[in-house]
Amino acid sequence: MYNPTHFSETDGIEIARLCQEYPLALIVAADADGLTANHVPLLRDGADFIGHVALANPVHGKITSQDPVLAVFTAGDGYVSPNWYPSKAETHKAVPTWNYQAVHVHGHFVFSHGDAIKRRVVSRLTHHFESLTNGSSGWKMGDAPSDYLQTMLDGIVAFRLVVTRIEAKSKLSQNRNRADRDGVENGFEGQGNTLMTAAMGRQNRD
C-alpha cells in the first residue's frame, strides 16, 4: 500500500494488537480467474497465522503455496473534516482526509486436510476466542457430540499463512500539529467513533 514514512506503523506491539483485536482479515489472492478475497479470522502462531476455510470454498484448490497472498487487518476509520483543525481558522490551509489503521500481511498459504492438524487449529482458535468471549466458562470442542464435531471438521480445510512481510499504517494526522491532532480526537469523540478516538488518544500520548 501507499505508506509515507510519517504514517508508517513500525511499533511491533501496536501491529500485534491490531491483528489480535481485529482478527477478521480479508485474505486476497490472484488466480487464473482473477482476484479472489475471503473474510477469515486469523490467529497468530509464532511468526505465522493459522485459520481455516470451508471445504466448499474453492480458494484452497486454486491457490498453491507458490502464489502470493495478502491478508489485510483493518481497525477503525473515519472522515476528518478540516473544520476540526484549530489551525484552519488561522491559515485555512486544510483539506479533508481519512484516518485509519491497517496491517497488510504478505505471505503464502499452506493448506492441510489432515484431521490432526485441523483439530489443532480449530482447538487453538476456539480456546482463544472463547476465552475472550466467555472467560473460564467458554465452549469447548468436547461439548459437541463427537460424530457431529467430526462432520464439522470434515467440512473445513486448515491453513498456515506463512508470513514473508508485514506492512502497517497508522494514518492518524501525524502531519498536523498537536492542537490539530487534539481537534481530530475531539471530532471523532463527538461522533461516537470510539475506535478512532482511542487511536488518536494513543498517538497523541506518545
Closest CA to 141 of 166, 120, 158: 120
CB of 144 to a second copy, least distance (A): 5
Nearer to a second copy (CB atom), residue 10 or residue 139: 139
CA distance 96 to 200: 17
CA distance 206 to 196: 15
Nearer to a second copy (CB atom), residue 160 or residue 171: 171
CB of 30 to a second copy, least distance (A): 4
CB of 139 to a second copy, least distance (A): 5
Instruction: Give the DSSP per-residue string, 75-131.
Output: EEEEEE-GGG-TTHHHH-----EEEEEEEEEEEEEEEE--HHHHHHHHHHHHHHHHH
Nearer to a second copy (CB atom), residue 17 or residue 88: 88
Nearer to a second copy (CB atom), residue 140 or residue 178: 140
Nearer to a second copy (CB atom), residue 93 or residue 205: 93
CB of 29 to a second copy, least distance (A): 7
CA distance 30 to 37: 9
Whole-number Cα distances in Å, 3 to 6, 45, 94, 128, 204:
8, 26, 20, 31, 20
CB of 50 to a second copy, least distance (A): 15
Q: What is the DSSP letter of 153?
A: H
Beta bridge partners of 25: 40
Nearer to a second copy (CB atom), residue 12 or residue 68: 68
The footprint of a second copy (CB under 8 A) covers 1-2, 4, 24, 26, 28-30, 34-39, 41, 53-54, 56-59, 68-70, 72, 74, 77, 79, 81-83, 88, 92-96, 98, 100, 102, 104, 106, 125-126, 129-130, 132-134, 137-139, 143-145, 148-149, 152, 169, 191
How far does Cα 97 stand from its chain's mean position?
22
CB of 161 to a second copy, least distance (A): 13
Residues composing the chain: 206
